[in-house]
Amino acid sequence: MTATARPSTTQSQRLLRDSLRLHTGVTVFLNPFLYRRRFDADTDRWLRQPGQLDEERIRCNRNRFYPELNWNDLDEEERLIKDGAVEMFLKSMELIGSFHPGLDAGQLLQVERKMTVTKKHAFERWIEKAIRRREHELLSEKRRLRRERLRLAWGEWIVDGTTRQALALFSGLLVLATGFGWWMGSRSSRPLADYSPVERPGWGSPSPARP
């Protein structure tokens, strides 16, 4: 098998796994993103972003797609991921019904059963990534707002009259301290004059002895 043929074979296998051919000859995509060329940007955003469906509707369909789960045993993060996967199932079935309006109830049930088996883990991984992405976006937004509040507070502090007077006083004191330090430094570096006493004639010599 050539290198060119391998990707084609892999794509064919993936497409076969993500689709279902009914006995009527109709091929239904189990991966809802394979329909993205057929829906607009609003539908794409509706499909990709969790939290677009009513929470009560999601709770009512939990056992429909996860009959094996005891939801009371799940922690908060697991419940969010599983609820997100239920939402993806509902959205996918809604899209399939829109793009294949001729499917009867039995055919839709056949599609749903295969989707539940083949796409459950894929939907869970998608929702987990979406949750992480949303948490990162919220954290980035909080940091941006914190920086903006700090900038505004600093700006208000700077333009405040009392602050400006205090800064002016501090600047004046700084100038005086700098000038005084320079003056003291210049005096300490000036060479000292030689103040050693000059010996004059007769001073310090012994007095002549008297007869």
Establish if 24 belongs to a structural domain.
yes
- Is the pTM higher than 0.75? The answer reads no
Establish if 178 belongs to a structural domain.
no
Establish if 211 belongs to a structural domain.
no
Establish if 171 belongs to a structural domain.
no
Establish if 66 belongs to a structural domain.
yes
Establish if 74 belongs to a structural domain.
yes
The structural domain count of the chain equals: 1
pLDDT tens sequence across 144-170: 778 888 777 777 766 666 766 766 676
pLDDT tens sequence across 45-93: 999 888 899 999 999 999 999 999 999 999 999 999 999 999 999 999 9
Establish if 46 belongs to a structural domain.
yes
Residue 116's domain comprises 8-136
Establish if 110 belongs to a structural domain.
yes
Cβ neighbors of 120 (< 8 A, separation 6 or more) are 65, 85
